[in-house]
Amino acid sequence: MVNSEALCPSQIIDTEIIAVTVYTDQALVTRQGKIELFGKERELVINNVPVTLDTESVRVGGRGRIVVKVGNVNVERVYATEPLVARVAQITTHIEQLESELSYVQAQLDGLALQARFIEGLREKTEEPFAQSLSRKNLSLSETLDFVNFLGSQYTEYGIATRDSQNRKQEIDKELQALKQQLRQIQTPLPKESFKLTVDIEPAGAGEFELEVTYVVKRAAWAPLYDMRVNSTNKTLSLNYIAEVTQNTGEDWNNVALTLSTAKPGLGTLPPKLEPWYVGIREPRIMPSPAMLAPENARMVRRRAYNLEFKDDDDSEQEDNYIEAEIEKAEVSTEGSVVSFKLNTSTNIPNDGAPHKATIFNNDFPIHFSYIAMPRLVSFAYLQATVKNPTGGATLLPGKANIFRDNVFVGTAQLTNVAPGQEFQVNLGIDESIKIERDLVERQVDKKLIGSNRKITYAYRLILTNLLSQEANLKLSEQIPKSKHEQIKIYLNRCNPQIQLGEMGILEWELRMAPQSKQELYYQFIIEYPPNLDIVGLNI
């Protein structure tokens, strides 16, 4: 006989999340649920869909052993109040059980106390008669020891039983306290909001049907993180590409197939429209004096001004330099400019708004080192690694990178978008293997005027030492002043090795230094200007 409830035209179907695609600011959720249809149903209802749902994004489909026509989907906002009756009944029953057990344990403690008092009274009443009988030899020593052992064993047995009962009583008291607190919280009516999805269906007959629903939710995002470890000996970069996923959508993602996508579906299909760009003058802003305000408002104005003026950037939270990552890799796919990373293992992302990490991949890339130096600013050379993203590799999205050099943390950097086949640089900090000395070797002011101008000659010598046992490529940049006045003339007079003067007075040498070698650079520049001009900026 068919259950009459199964012939109801509206059936509630239980679904679970099986897959999630996370974008940079939202997520596409896929739910599935199976139900036995009897041919009379006209609606399938899915309850408790979170309020972060984009109501225009709901799509339905399915498959089964019968033909089912799926029609429109109605999205309805539902309000409910807690407590739920079933939950209250469950907690109440548990409390009653514990209180019954507590009464039993208390009865045990009372009985043990009574027995202990009886043994104590027996000991007090028999202590003197036993001593007299033993002295008169009316009792043997063995009989006396048997009685003493009996008293001792009873004391021990009652003591252990009392301790166990007291421990259990304390445990029950704690459980009761926690349950009563839960009950008070649940019995406080709180508004609860969700969506109900009603799917119109028309089954051709009876049979099993699997419904699939997809929808977009807000409050979900992912961002790339990178862990870059440079091995100076092997000249390799171990790049750990990590996804940091956060979600506070209103539902947990348990044991789901997780895909991370670079698509931005929320931006729409049309380009943004330019609005008029107005330029005007700044209107004077008159701040009321504290005397013109109420005392409390005056304090608020002073506090606000203080916060704006003295905000300290060092108060920002420091993040951990070390990133924990999973060992699984993701399956990478590219469609046009959109890159997707499908994780090969099921993933749990709870609805807590906290970041959860998953590894996209971890690969080793060959690198080559070079050095850059700006001796006018810093008397050190900086090591830089050049890495090429393989042609068949994945796009490296903009994100924070933690950089390690030979297992030593050197700092963080912001990685820009790196396409497959593109090179990028990783800065590895100061390397004292390149020694730089910079000296002002000439500053000569001509006593005679040339025409109507005064002439000053400056010259610098740089001595570079490669302390490495291997060749080093060094890009060294120096600078001569740039004139901002038509009567001030500045020109490069000599340069060794010879190079062309670049824009903004920049001198750049590309040097290949042999192992354990020294090299000398020299340049000279001249400044001419009328002696009546008050020159600023020659703080050389």
Query: What are the mean pLDDT values of the chain's consecutive 10-residue runs (540 residues total)?
Result: 53 92 93 90 91 93 89 88 70 88 87 77 66 60 65 74 86 85 69 86 90 94 93 92 92 92 64 54 50 41 31 42 44 69 86 89 92 90 93 86 91 90 92 93 81 87 94 93 88 93 91 95 92 78
Nearest Cα to 193, choosing from 54, 29, 87, 52? 52
Helix spans in 272-372 (H)? 295-309
Buried/exposed code over 221-259 (b: 16+ C-beta within 10 A; e: otherwise)? bbbbbbbbbbeeeeebbebbbbbbbbbbbbbebeebbbb
pLDDT in the model for residue 84: 63
- Distance between CA atoms of residues 118 and 112, nearest Å: 10
At 281, which amino acid appears? Answer: I
How far is residue 353's CA from residue 166's CA, in Å, rounded to a whole number?
A: 42
Give the pLDDT confidence score for residue 136 in this predicted structure.
60
Query: What angle is formed at CA 402 by the lines to CA 397 and CA 404, rounded to 5 degrees?
Result: 130
CA nearest 251: which of 50, 22, 23, 91? 50
The one-letter amino acid code at 255 reads: N
* pLDDT confidence of residue 147: 65
Q: Which two tokens stand for residue 82?
A: 């807690």
Q: What is the pTM of this model?
A: 0.57
Report the C-alpha dihedral over residues 292, 294, 295, 298, rounded to 10 degrees. Answer: -60
Rounded to whole angstroms, the Cα distance separating 501 from 5 reads 89
Half-sphere exposure of 362 (CA within 13 A, CB side): 15
pLDDT at 414: 92
Q: Which residues contact 237 (CB under 8 A, 6 or more apart)?
A: 228, 229, 230, 231, 364, 365, 366, 367, 385, 387, 426
d(CA 242, CA 229): 14
